[in-house]
Amino acid sequence: MSSRSQQFDDSPENPVTNPVSGPLWLLLNPASGSNSEDSQDQLLAALAHSGHAPARVLRLPEDPLPTRAMLEEAGVGILAIFTGDGTANAQIEKLHGWPGAVLVLPGGTQNLLSKALHGHADAPAIVRRLGTPGMIRTRRQGVRTSAGNALVEVLAGPGATWADVREGVREGDLGVIATALGEALHHTTQGAPVVVSDPPLGKREGYRAVRIDAQAGALDLDGYDADDWADIVAHGVSILIRRDFRQGPHEELGQAPAVTCTSAEPIALMIDGERREGCCEETFTCIDIPLDFLATRSDIAPRADITPCSGPTP
């Protein structure tokens, strides 16, 4: 896959597209990986300094995830989400069709969605771009699965069980880490491989894991195998330390608007970093997410330039 720029661009060629009007609400999850009191204070200070002090701050689990109806009734223009990927995914599912825009900030462990929209910038740096030519309004595409939609990526196959080890690391529970590590090693070496069967892509015998994301109106696929212990360790390090499975050894499989994967066992899934269980046959489809996002990466197209998926919207 092609690499993407992680830099901001303030040039006139990257203007603010469809600027957002209306108050800003902020959603916080203190239990997420990057949600310390200090990080929250820095974020609130940056929002105030940028002229976007939140009209309301919602804190999980005391406050529920706001719905589209709640935001429309309050006339909210921007919902800033400072949580992990799992919470961001659940929140965005409730907002399909909302005319405002979501500002996803890195408030979790992996922060896959924030990185996709803003690169590796921290929350205060992103907030400082509100209302400037360095921030655009855009749309995203995702991957539909039987276990929910992915806004960034899906990992399908025995290799997805490494996410269980990561959960133990995040919680600091040595017992959970030890148990999950043993299970991940067992599943990665002994679990049934996943075959991309329709259209047939890659090796006929399949892979330890298949990574799927949606770009430019189609699904992009990579295959991951583990021929020896060195490969297994490389995959594990990518999940646990680098927190990016894509850095492990892999094979580019190509693109398709939809793919079906099969396995002799129910397919383990990791959707935006969160573990789910799939079926022995899983169909993945490129979908258009009916919601606007605010983005600061210079390589992201504004909303009018997005190539739609050929599949249905969620």
Residues 52, 155, single domain; the answer is: no
Residues 105, 168, single domain; the answer is: no
Residue 41 belongs to some domain of the structure: yes
- Three-state secondary structure of 145-207: ECCEEECCCEEECHHHHHHHHHHHHHHCCHHHHHHHHHHHHHHHHHCCCEEEEECEECCCCCE
Tell me, what's the pLDDT at 245? 54
Report the CATH number that the domain containing residue 103 is assigned in CATH.
Answer: 3.40.50.10330
Residues 112, 154, single domain; the answer is: no
Phi and psi of 182, rounded to 5°? -60, -40
Q: What percent of the chain has pLDDT over 90?
A: 59
Tell me, what's the pLDDT at 123? 96
What residue spans of 34-140 are helical by DSSP H?
37-49, 68-74, 85-93, 112-118, 123-127
ω into residue 61 within 30 of 0, thus cis?
A: yes
Q: Which residue has the higher pLDDT, 232 or 264?
A: 264
Task: Judge whether 191 and 269 are in contact, CB under 8 Å.
Answer: no
pLDDT band at 250 (very low <50, low <70, confident <90, very high): confident
Residues 170, 93, single domain; the answer is: no
pLDDT for residue 92 is more than 50: yes
Does the pTM surpass 0.75? The reply is yes
d(CA 54, CA 74): 13
3-state secondary structure of 248: coil
Per-residue pLDDT of 286-305, as tens digits, reads 999 999 999 999 999 888 77
Residue where the block lists tokens 């701050």: 57
pLDDT for residue 3 is more than 50: no
Side chain identity at 235, as an amino acid letter? H
Residues 217, 91, single domain; the answer is: no
d(CA 89, CA 122): 19
Burial class of residue 68, CB neighbours in 10 A (0-12, 13-18, 19+) = middle
Report the CATH number that the domain containing residue 248 is assigned in CATH.
Answer: 2.60.200
Buried/exposed code over 82-104 (b: 16+ C-beta within 10 A; e: otherwise)? bbbbbbbbebbebbeebebbbbb
Residue 245 CB coordination number (10 Å): 24
Could you tell me the residue range of the domain that residue 188 belongs to? 148-287
Task: Judge whether 165 and 181 are in contact, CB under 8 Å.
Answer: yes
Residues 160, 103, single domain; the answer is: no
* CA angle, residues 50, 18, 305, in degrees to nearest 5: 125
Output the six-digit token pair for 177. Answer: 């880490």
If one counts the domains in the chain, the total is: 2
